[in-house]
């Protein structure tokens, strides 16, 4: 079933999105009907195991529930943000097996046995991750609402390309929106973090 | 290239980069319910019935609230009390909320919302402001008697005479689009009914005191019964005023009626549908000039689509009126401005507040005038711009601060190497695929509220027994860094290190009403109140230092966490003096109150000293336009603004970059798709805001002329930085293609 595979790395997201259109249409129809009748919420509880920020998690949850809400509501990890609910803004970005994934799109059952990292998982003890440190040092934020998603996308970018060019950083963060317009400094921060992570600094 | 700067300091940076910041949706209370708004399919209609029985009986539903449940006043507003919190007799626009479902879970509430049935008799929707203004037009708000929300005017000199003395007369029509604020965090509220009868409100709103007025009106409560707690906010840009306050008000009512905590969190689609936007303008502009390029007269008619409710349309359009000739001296001016009701989405405050629209018009006109007179666009501006002691079009003499118009212009010309870039412009002719153009625009802007409202603010500095400091002001942290600015000012004023200072979480029940955090007034007003509070505190502390050091009062300086007399080489620790004060039963506690200098306004003639001070800005951009595809590529951009005293340069520059980015969206990318009163672009796939790949290289030039009109010496910078990119782009596109665009956003057509 396509749904269960919807772990969507951002780069391939657009193509997969098109593939998912049929499914979404069907889902919408279903939801619409369901909204009209108002007969409660379908619940298919199942046990889901995954690794969250390095620690094993076992949950009894509705498998179709989106990871974003499981993280925020069930697990109390509110660092991951809701921005648009449709994968367009990037505020909900988390890492699943090294890929930046929109947690508003992926169902919790799809992270079964996988490795999930959220913004809360980057800090080690008191030590900020180089990206977090660089974002603070560069004043690469204003309201801070896009920041966790932005940092997680940058984290995935640096995992795949340890010394990205400015053009590559811009392209890598293209789908993470920042209305305060801190992009210039976000790019500088990612460069600084990249250098630090390679041990140049 | 890195712009890493050791001066970067924000009190909230650590929490924000670690995801620890608690925004409103991150707050929860035990036993909390969830609220969801219900809309209807109508745009303009007379309500027959709102059927809630099926929804009320649905699983998990605790209460379905409609206008009938409102104990206080269902209609409220900052200027006109026309904004209905729940649709009652009529639906005025497609974002009107007919009912509010409160349920055990959000999912239950959303499911039940689909069961509310709205029966209504459809009325013709008035969607064009010019139609709405016609004498026989259907009146949208019958009790108001007219669709014209407000009129403003400027009457100066004699335009007939001015035009008769002109060699060239230019007449053009311009139009601008709606802008969605698109704050990343949608409207959210959490309301908790407390044991003492007070309802606590946590909300994503930028004006706690304004929100409190909305909540109290709806609930019929006293101001002291409601406590709005300042909560970190995921962006506002002027947009979290009326709508955000109303979301808080509905949620507070649900908490009151159910006796349980209630949370409402908007989906992006609800936010875009219901929240107010930047006004679209239609402007007819006529300008007369001598052949030497001196402006002799301006006549303009400005029509702003106010949408279904008044909101702050009269204030927005007032700024447009006062600044309708840009930073130019014009002796004969006749301006008529209208804010008009329609059944479109509501419009209200947005970063710029009536200036982005007018600057697009004026700065396009100046370049057109340059073309007609054969003068260089820089030269024609030099001939007309305001200078020291110039008189503005409303009769205000610019003599109480440094008039920095030419200074910011020259800074841009020099730092951007503008002349070389301008000369390279293609003007429609190129051998390659890419047409190249550079353009610029400039403005002046009245500081703070001006004659829009009562302008004062307080700050409290409360030093604890161990020397640590709590600071608070009536200004709200909207993400711009105002708390950090207040901490930095306190640190400078008292000579203490920043790590001693904590910004106290603000609450409307603690600090006096400091007005709304709008009009780029945060640092100007709140910062000035801090300076005045610090001054009082130093006076309280000095006698203790005199006693300790045995030196004269006026010799004592506060620095490095010490009070010292450098001449005598004596000093005592700040903390020690504080300890001494507590043992002598003296509180090191001070309140500063800053009242903005008085302004005047004669509505009859549109004349007066509209603002107590002014700021000056200039921005330029270079770009290419692809001859075949029309695709615009932005290369480099620059902004120079007179910031007054810049409290923190890094944060100030951050405002520059953010303002320029948003201005680029306005000029080139953003356009709200609204058809027959229904918004189609409800999410970021169809409403396009600037991305990392859209922006040019940007440079920020801070011109620091300390403002003598306020103790902080600062000038607002959030809005000036957002009001110039669109005309700079329009001018650059003209210089590239030879084609003038009169409509925003600029969409290149090859016709």
Cβ-nearest to A119 among B18, B58, B657: B18
Range of weakest confidence among B253-257, B322-326, B501-505: B501-505
Q: Mean per-residue pLDDT for A26-43?
A: 43
pLDDT band, very low/low/confident/very high, at A16 (cuts 50, 70, 90): very low
Confidence at residue B523, expressed as pLDDT on a 0 to 100 scale? 83
**Number of residue pairs across A and B with CB atoms under 8 Å?**
205
CB proximity under 8 Å: B 237-296 to A: 237, 265, 267-268
Q: Are B280 and B178 contacting, i.e. CB atoms less than 8 angstroms apart?
A: yes
Contacts of A177 in chain B (CB under 8 A): 182, 184, 684, 689, 691
Look at A142 and B658 and tell me if their CB atoms are within 8 Å.
yes
Q: How confident is the model at residue A23 (pLDDT cuts 50, 70, 90)?
A: very low
Cβ distance of A142 and B684 shorter than 8 Å: no
- Signed CA dihedral, A113, A117, A123, A128: sign only: positive
Q: Give the closest-approach CA distance of B290 to chain A in angstroms.
A: 42
pLDDT of residue A201: 44
**Cβ contact B19–A35 (<8 Å):** no
Q: Which residue has the tokens 């699943």?
A: A96
Q: Are strands B281-289 and B295-307 parallel, antiparallel or unpaired?
A: antiparallel
- Cite the residue boundaries of each domain of chain B with CATH code 3.30.365.10: 281-450+602-737, 456-595
Tally the C-alpha atoms within 13 A of residue A107's C-alpha that lie toward its C-beta: 17
In chain B, residues under CATH classification 3.90.1170.50 are: 31-123+187-265
Which single residue is written with the structure tokens 């009001």? B723
Read off the pLDDT of residues B366-383 as tens digits, 9 standing for 90 and up. Answer: 999 999 999 999 999 999
Distance separating alpha carbons of residues B738 and B733, to the nearest angstrom: 8
Using the predicted structure, report yes or no on whether residue B7 has a pLDDT greater than 70.
yes
Find, among B153, B152, B127, the residue nearest to B138 by Cα.
Answer: B127
Does B91 reach chain A within 8 Å, measured CB to CB? no
- Say yes or no to pLDDT of A33 above 90: no
Residue B169 and residue B91: Cα distance in Å, rounded? 45
Is the CB of B17 less than 8 angstroms away from the CB of A135? yes
Nearest to A41 among B111, B658, B662 (CB): B111
What whole-number distance in Å separates Cα of residue B357 and Cα of residue B280? 8
Most confident stretch, A169-183, B497-511, B589-603: A169-183
CB B60 within 8 A of CB B103: yes
A178 CB neighbours in chain B (<8 A) are: 184, 692
Could you say which of A40, A72, A181 has the minimum Cβ distance to residue B690?
A: A181
Is residue A25 over pLDDT 90? Answer: no
Chain A neighbours among B 461-490 (CB < 8 Å)? 478-481
**Looking at residue B515, what is its pLDDT?**
79
* Nearest chain A residue to B22, by CA: A78
pLDDT for residue A42:
56
Neighboring chain B residues of A120 at a CB cutoff of 8 Å: 18-19
Q: How confident is the model at residue A133 (pLDDT cuts 50, 70, 90)?
A: very high
Identify all chain A residues contacting B695, using CB atoms and an 8 Å cutoff: 181, 183-184
* Peptide bond between residue B745 and the one before it cis (omega within 30 degrees of 0): yes
pLDDT, tens only, B695-733: 999 999 999 999 999 999 999 999 999 999 999 999 999
Residue with tokens 């604020």: B181
Q: How far is A33 from chain B (nearest CA, A)?
A: 10
Contacts with B181 from chain A: Cβ below 8 Å: 179
Segment 144-173 of chain A within 8 Å of chain B by CB: 144-148, 151, 169-171, 173
* Average pLDDT of span B443-461: 87
User: How does DSSP classify residue B165?
Assistant: T
Which pLDDT band, with edges at 50, 70 and 90, does B154 fall under?
Answer: very high
Q: How far apart are CA B459 and CA B475, in angstroms?
A: 9
Report the residue from A91, A118, A191 with minimal CB separation from B184.
A91
The fold for domain A45-196 equals Ubiquitin-like (UB roll) (3.10.20)
Q: Determine which helix (DSSP H) or strand (DSSP E) holds B77, and give its type and residue range.
A: none
**Mean pLDDT computed over B236-263:** 97
The Cβ of residue B170 has, within 10 Å, a number of other Cβ atoms equal to: 16
What is the model's pLDDT at position A11? 45
Q: Are B362 and B731 in contact (CB under 8 A)?
A: no
* A chain contacts of residue B12, beta-carbon cutoff 8 Å: 144
What is the arithmetic mean of pLDDT over B527-531? 94
B234–A139 C-beta distance less than 8 A: no
- Nearest residue in chain A measured CA to CA from B11: A136
Q: Render pLDDT for B411-427 as a digit per residue (tens, 0 to 9).
A: 999 999 999 999 999 99
Between the CA of residue B355 and those of B169, B276, B280, what are the distances in Å?
24, 17, 12
Contacts of B274 (CB under 8 A, 6+ apart): B37, B39, B95, B97, B243, B266
Return the bridge partners of B439, or none: B621
Residues facing residue B171 across a β-bridge: B286
**CB-based contact, A82 to chain B, within 8 Å:** yes
- Percent of residues, chain B, with pLDDT higher than 70: 99
3 state DSSP class of B475: coil
pLDDT band at B160 (very low <50, low <70, confident <90, very high): very high
- The phi, psi pair for B687, rounded to 5°, reads -105, 110
State the average pLDDT for chain A.
84
Of residues B211 and A22, more confidence is placed in B211
Chain B residues within 8 A of A186 when measuring between CB atoms: 692
Confidence of residue A200 (pLDDT cuts 50, 70, 90): low
Contact: B693, A174; criterion CB under 8 Å:
yes
User: Looking at beta carbons, which residues of chain B come within 8 Å of A123?
Assistant: 18
Q: Please tell me the distance from the alpha carbon of residue B231 to that of residue B265, in angstroms, as a whole number.
A: 14
Q: Which of A66, A173, A184, A185 to mutate to test the interface with B (most CBs of B within 10 A)?
A: A184
Asked if pLDDT for residue A4 goes beyond 70, the answer is no
Q: How confident is the model at residue B524 (pLDDT cuts 50, 70, 90)?
A: confident
Distance of residue A49 Cα from the nearest chain B Cα, in angstroms: 24
Q: What is the pLDDT of residue B499?
A: 94
pLDDT band at B505 (very low <50, low <70, confident <90, very high): confident
Kindly report the CATH number that applies to the domain delimited by B31-123+187-265: 3.90.1170.50
Distance CA A87, CA A195 (A): 30
CA distance B719 to chain A (A): 12
Quickly name the fold that domain B456-595 has: Aldehyde Oxidoreductase; domain 4 (3.30.365)
Q: Nearest CB to B184: which of A83, A151, A186?
A: A83
Given a cut of 60, whether residue A136 has pLDDT beyond it is yes
Tens digit of each residue's pLDDT (9 = 90 or more) over B536-583: 999 999 999 999 999 899 999 999 999 999 999 999 999 999 999 999
**Contact indicator for A174, B689 with CB cutoff of 8 Å:** no
In which band, very low, low, confident or very high, does the pLDDT at A41 lie, cut at 50, 70 and 90? low
Distance from CA of B190 to the nearest CA of A (A): 15
Model confidence at B506, pLDDT cuts 50, 70, 90, reads confident
Q: Which residues of A touch B8 (CB under 8 A)?
A: 136-139
User: DSSP H helical segments within B165-219, as ranges?
Assistant: 208-219
- Cβ of B108 within 8 Å of Cβ of A41? The answer is yes
Specify the range with the lowest mean pLDDT, choosing from A1-5, B102-106, B145-149: A1-5
| Residue in A156, A142, A145 with CA at minimum distance from that of residue A80 | A145
Q: Which residues of B86-96 are buried (b: 16+ CB within 10 A; e: fewer)?
A: bbbebbbbbbb
The verdict on a CB contact (< 8 Å) between B657 and A181 is yes
| Confidence at residue B451, expressed as pLDDT on a 0 to 100 scale | 74
Q: What is the pLDDT of residues A60-78, one digit of tens each?
A: 999 999 999 999 999 999 9
Whose tokens are 């650059």? That residue is: B732
Beta strand B456-463 pairing with B434-446: unpaired
DSSP H or E stretch at residue B700: strand B697-703
Contact residues on chain A for B693, CB-CB shorter than 8 A = 170-171, 174
Chain B residues closer than 8 Å to A181 by CB: 657-662, 690, 695
The B residues from 599 to 638 touching A (CB cutoff 8 Å) are none
* Strand, helix or coil for residue B354: coil
Restricting to A residues 110-139, those with a Cβ less than 8 Å away from any Cβ of B are: 118-120, 122-123, 128, 132-133, 135-139
Q: What is the pLDDT of residues B16-46, one digit of tens each?
A: 999 999 999 999 999 999 999 999 999 999 9
Kindly determine whether residue B25 and residue A82, on different chains, have CB atoms separated by under 8 Å.
yes
pLDDT band per the 50, 70, 90 thresholds, residue B277 = very high
pLDDT exceeds 60 at position A37: no
Rounded CA gap, B9 and A163, in Å? 27
pLDDT-derived band at B215 (thresholds 50, 70, 90) equals very high
Query: Average pLDDT for residues B258-264, to the nearest whole number?
Result: 98
Q: What distances in angstroms separate CA B410 from CA B33, B352, B382, B532, B732, one per listed residue? A: 58, 23, 10, 35, 18
Q: What is residue B597's DSSP assignment?
A: P
* Residues 676-705, chain B, touching A (beta carbon < 8 A): 683-685, 689-693, 695, 698
Of B107, B183, B662, Cβ closest to residue A41: B107
pLDDT band, very low/low/confident/very high, at B486 (cuts 50, 70, 90): very high
What separation in angstroms does the CA of B473 have from each of A176, B158, B537, B554? 33, 46, 15, 28
Q: What is the CA radius of gyration of chain A?
A: 18
**Reported ipTM:** 0.96
**Token pair listed for A77:** 């990890």
Q: What is the CA radius of gyration of chain B?
A: 27
| DSSP one-letter string for A7-28 | --BHHHHHHHHHHHHHHHHHHH
Report the gap between the CA of A194 and the closest CA in chain B (Å).
12
Give CATH for domain B281-450+602-737: 3.30.365.10
B527 secondary structure, DSSP code: H
Q: Would the pTM count as exceeding 0.90?
A: yes
How far, rounded to the nearest angstrom, does the alpha carbon of residue A92 sit from its chain's CA centroid?
Answer: 5
**What distance in Å separates the CA atoms of residue B542 and residue B523, rounded to the nearest whole number?**
27
Per-residue confidence (pLDDT) for residue B751, from 0 to 100: 56
């Amino acid at each position: 079933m396509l749904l269960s595979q919807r772990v969507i790395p951002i780069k391939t997201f657009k193509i997969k999105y098109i593939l998912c259109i049929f499914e979404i249409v069907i889902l919408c129809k279903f939801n619409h009907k369901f909204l009209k009748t108002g007969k409660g919420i379908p619940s298919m509880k199942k046990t889901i195991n995954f690794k969250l920020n390095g620690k094993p998690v076992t949950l009894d949850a509705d498998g179709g529930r989106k990871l974003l809400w499981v993280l925020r509501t069930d697990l109390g990890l509110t660092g991951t943000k809701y921005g648009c609910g449709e994968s367009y803004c990037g505020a909900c970005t988390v890492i699943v097996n090294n890929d930046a994934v929109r947690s508003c799109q992926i169902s919790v059952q799809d992270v079964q046995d996988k490795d999930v990292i959220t913004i809360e998982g980057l800090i080690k003890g008191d030590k900020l991750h180089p990206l977090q440190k660089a974002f603070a040092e560069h004043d690469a934020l204003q309201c801070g609402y896009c920041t966790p998603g932005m940092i997680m996308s940058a984290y995935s970018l640096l995992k795949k390309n340890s010394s990205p060019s400015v053009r590559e950083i811009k392209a890598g963060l293209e789908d993470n929106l920042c209305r305060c317009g801190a992009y210039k400094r976000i790019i500088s921060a990612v460069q600084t973090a990249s250098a630090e992570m390679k041990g140049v600094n | 290239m890195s712009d890493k700067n050791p001066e970067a300091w924000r009190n909230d940076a650590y929490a924000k980069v670690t995801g620890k910041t608690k925004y409103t949706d991150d707050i929860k209370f035990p036993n909390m319910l969830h609220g969801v708004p219900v809309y209807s399919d109508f745009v303009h209609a007379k309500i027959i019935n709102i059927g809630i029985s099926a929804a009320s009986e649905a699983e998990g539903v605790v209460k379905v609230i409609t206008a009938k449940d409102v104990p206080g006043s269902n209609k409220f507003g900052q200027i006109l009390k026309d904004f209905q919190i729940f649709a009652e007799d009529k639906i005025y626009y497609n974002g009107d909320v007919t009912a509010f479902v409160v349920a055990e879970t959000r999912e239950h509430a959303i499911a039940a919302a689909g069961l509310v049935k709205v029966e209504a008799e459809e009325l013709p929707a008035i969607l064009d402001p010019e139609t709405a203004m016609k004498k026989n037009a259907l009146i949208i708000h019958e009790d108001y008697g007219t669709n014209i929300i407000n009129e403003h005017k400027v009457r100066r000199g004699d335009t007939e005479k001015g035009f008769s003395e002109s060699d060239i007369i230019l007449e053009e029509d311009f139009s601008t689009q709606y802008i969605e604020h698109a704050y990343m965090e949608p409207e959210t509220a959490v309301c908790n009914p407390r044991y003492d009868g007070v309802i606590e409100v946590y909300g994503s709103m930028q004006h706690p005191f304004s929100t409190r007025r909305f909540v109290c009106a709806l609930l019929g409560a006293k101001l002291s019964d409601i406590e709005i707690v300042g909560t970190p906010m995921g962006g506002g840009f002027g947009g979290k005023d009326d709508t955000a306050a109303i979301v808080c008000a509905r949620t507070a009512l649900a908490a009151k009626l159910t006796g349980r905590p209630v949370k409402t969190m908007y989906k992006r689609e609800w936010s875009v549908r219901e929240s107010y936007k930047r006004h679209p303008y239609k402007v007819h502009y006529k300008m007369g000039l001598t052949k030497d390029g001196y402006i002799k007269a301006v006549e303009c008619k400005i029509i702003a689509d106010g949408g279904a409710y008044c909101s702050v349309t009269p204030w927005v359009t007032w700024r447009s009126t006062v600044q309708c000739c840009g930073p130019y001296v014009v002796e004969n001016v006749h301006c008529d401005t209208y804010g008009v009701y329609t059944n479109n989405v509501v419009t209200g405050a947005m970063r710029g507040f009536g200036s982005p629209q007018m600057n697009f018009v004026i700065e396009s006109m100046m370049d057109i005038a340059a073309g007609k007179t054969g003068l260089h666009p820089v030269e024609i501006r030099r001939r007309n711009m305001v200078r020291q002691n110039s008189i503005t079009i409303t009769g205000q003499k610019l003599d109480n601060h440094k008039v920095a118009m030419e200074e910011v212009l020259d800074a841009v010309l020099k730092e951007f190497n503008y002349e070389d870039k301008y000369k390279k412009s293609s003007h429609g002719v190129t051998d390659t695929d890419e047409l190249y153009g550079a353009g610029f625009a400039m403005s002046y802007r009245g500081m703070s509220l001006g004659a829009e409202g009562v302008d004062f603010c307080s700050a409290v500095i409360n030093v604890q027994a161990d020397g640590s400091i709590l600071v608070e002001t009536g200004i709200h942290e909207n993400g711009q860094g105002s708390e950090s600015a207040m901490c930095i000012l306190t640190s400078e004023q008292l000579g203490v290190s920043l790590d001693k200072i904590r910004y106290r979480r603000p609450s409307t029940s603690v600090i006096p009403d400091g007005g709304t955090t709008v009009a780029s007034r945060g640092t100007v007003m709140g910062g000035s109140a801090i300076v005045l509070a610090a001054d009082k505190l130093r006076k309280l502390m000095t006698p203790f230092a005199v006693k300790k050091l045995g030196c004269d009062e006026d010799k004592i300086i506060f620095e490095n966490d010490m009070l010292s007399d450098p001449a005598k080489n004596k000093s005592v620790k700040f903390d020690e003096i504080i300890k001494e004060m507590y043992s002598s039963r003296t509180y090191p506690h001070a309140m500063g109150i800053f009242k903005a200098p008085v302004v005047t306004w004669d509505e009859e003639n549109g004349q007066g000293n509209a603002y107590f001070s002014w700021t000056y800005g200039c921005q330029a951009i270079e770009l290419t336009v692809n001859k075949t595809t029309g695709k615009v590529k932005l290369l480099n951009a620059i902004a120079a603004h007179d910031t007054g005293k810049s409290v923190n340069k890094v944060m100030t520059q951050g405002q520059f970059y953010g303002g320029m980015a948003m201005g680029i969206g306005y000029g080139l990318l953003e356009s709200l798709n609204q058809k027959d009163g229904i918004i189609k672009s409800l999410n970021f796939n169809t409403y396009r805001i600037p991305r990392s790949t859209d922006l040019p290289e940007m440079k920020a030039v801070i011109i620091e002329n300390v403002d003598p009109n306020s103790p902080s010496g600062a000038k607002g910078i959030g809005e000036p930085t957002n009001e110039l990119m669109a005309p700079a782009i329009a001018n650059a596109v003209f210089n590239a293609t030879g084609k003038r665009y009169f409509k925003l956003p600029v969409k290149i057509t090859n016709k």
